[in-house]
Structure 1
């Protein structure tokens, strides 16, 4: 490694590098705006506010970063799992609010080479409509904030224990529970390590939305291919570089993290409870 030049300033080098990388992303996002931005319109004004300057102090750099990555949402670009859903084809239960349960592996339990495993399970709230009956012809009442708060409190009581999210073990088995009349569409499944785990989670979801759980509607598929670990998955070579191969349905303990309701892709999801504290839920945690 080459020696650093005499008088090298680490902080100045950091700020210069941060400015270059940050502005490169800002310029790419605002490629329709000429120059560094101006006050001629909304997007030029946003570009002007987001671009880093050489004389910015730490507070100014933080504000520009927060505006661009968090408030404007660039940091969530191309992510479709925890901020809504994308469907190739609308399911037959479309038009009803969709309740999502988010589970993930504890950071401390995840191998250094891998990101924590994250799973999500959803169910449609068939007792409610996303919009009022006058607008879509539905006979179901439009869901209200009071309805969602009631569901949020149910989730808090069922999916939290000792102020922490409950856990279950994910694995290579797919547990599908099909009951369209009560919001469980065909083709929706949960990865588990045993039938008992599947029964427990689906029972809890049914309790939350106040519908009966029927064990005969649960089908657990046990594939011949076993789960793989980071070590057994091994490494592969891509473009001459060794990278970690993808694991197949690894066994991992997942913890309940949050729940939110989607009313369609025109408005942001409404968080009911979030144990990560990244989003403000309708009920407080803990």
Structure 2
């Protein structure tokens, strides 16, 4: 065992090792950005803000690492709870790629006491398989990057307007579109405030994956219980402390944020487009 030198500083050693390993991961995540980043575009600016440099004080160090690990979300990278299939058991359409579309409430429209509302809608790409016929017994061809890029361009054209994600209004009505042969399995639904919003979103999804939209397959259920707001939901007392009660299917405008394709929970998702700039998509934004 080699003796440590007399002037060895555990703190300096830890700091330099952490900086080296951390910056490796930042560089890999922003591999599309040349150098250490600059102010030429959003991703270059993010890389510049995330990388640790000699001379950073403790506050700057904490902000840089929190931006990368927590805000951008690198520490949650590849966790199934974020990107994987939400199904507890494999549905009959397992083996086909799954397209996810993510919508969320604008921060400016979110009540101070609440987190932004987030909804995610998915559909199976039944024309393709994840691995190819020889591997899973499917007669469908394996999806390629070219196929995914074509879908990405369709999503960009359909779900972006004036360089921003389109919006729809969510509410207390559940809209289900059932068409298993074209990837819309039974049991999943979209919360909307009107049938018009449901028709628009499902029609756009069908157009993006090049399958026909059929009005008769859309069912909208209108429950007796109305939507509640932060104010009408009120507060409840838990362990002697008042906390905000959960809202019931609140009415809010949700904006399209991103789209990605899952090829199974052992493979990282492929982002088609991401308006938040947290992930590099196959097509550029805006």
Residue 34 (structure 2) aligns with:
none
The CA deviation string for residues 45-80 of structure 1, in whole angstroms up to 9 with x for no partner, is 88x968xxxx97346556665776589943569782
Q: Mean Cα displacement is larger for which, 56-65 or 225-234?
A: 56-65
1:206, 1:244 → 2: CA distance? 38
- Normalising by structure 1, what TM-score? 0.77
The reply to whether residue 280 of structure 1 matches residue 280 of structure 2 is yes
Q: From the superposition, tell whether residues 107 and 85 of structure 1 become closer, same or farther in structure 2 (CA, over 3 Å).
A: same
Q: From the superposition, tell whether residues 247 and 76 of structure 1 become closer, same or farther in structure 2 (CA, over 3 Å).
A: farther
CA contact (8 A) 1:49 1:64 kept: no
The CA deviation string for residues 192-232 of structure 1, in whole angstroms up to 9 with x for no partner, is 00111111110000000000001000111110000000000
Residue 80 (structure 1) aligns with:
81
Map 1:1-286; keep pairs closer than 5 Å: 57-58=57-58, 61=62, 69=70, 73-75=74-76, 80-81=81-82, 83-286=83-286
Unaligned runs of 5+ in 2: 1-10, 23-54
Residue 25 (structure 1) aligns with:
none
SS at match of 1:155: helix
The CA deviation string for residues 95-137 of structure 1, in whole angstroms up to 9 with x for no partner, is 0000001111111111111111110100000000000211111
SS at match of 1:80: helix
Instruction: Write out the 4+ residue segments of structure 1 that deviate beyond 4 Å after TM superposition.
Output: 58-73, 75-79
CA contact (8 A) 1:69 1:76 kept: no
1:91, 1:199 → 2: CA distance? 25
- Normalising by structure 2, what TM-score? 0.77
> What is the alpha-carbon root mean square deviation over aligned residues?
2.8
Q: From the superposition, tell whether residues 257 and 72 of structure 1 become closer, same or farther in structure 2 (CA, over 3 Å).
A: closer
SS at match of 1:123: strand
Deviation of the 1:85 alpha carbon? 2.3
> How many residues of Structure 1 are paired with residues of Structure 2 in the alignment?
242
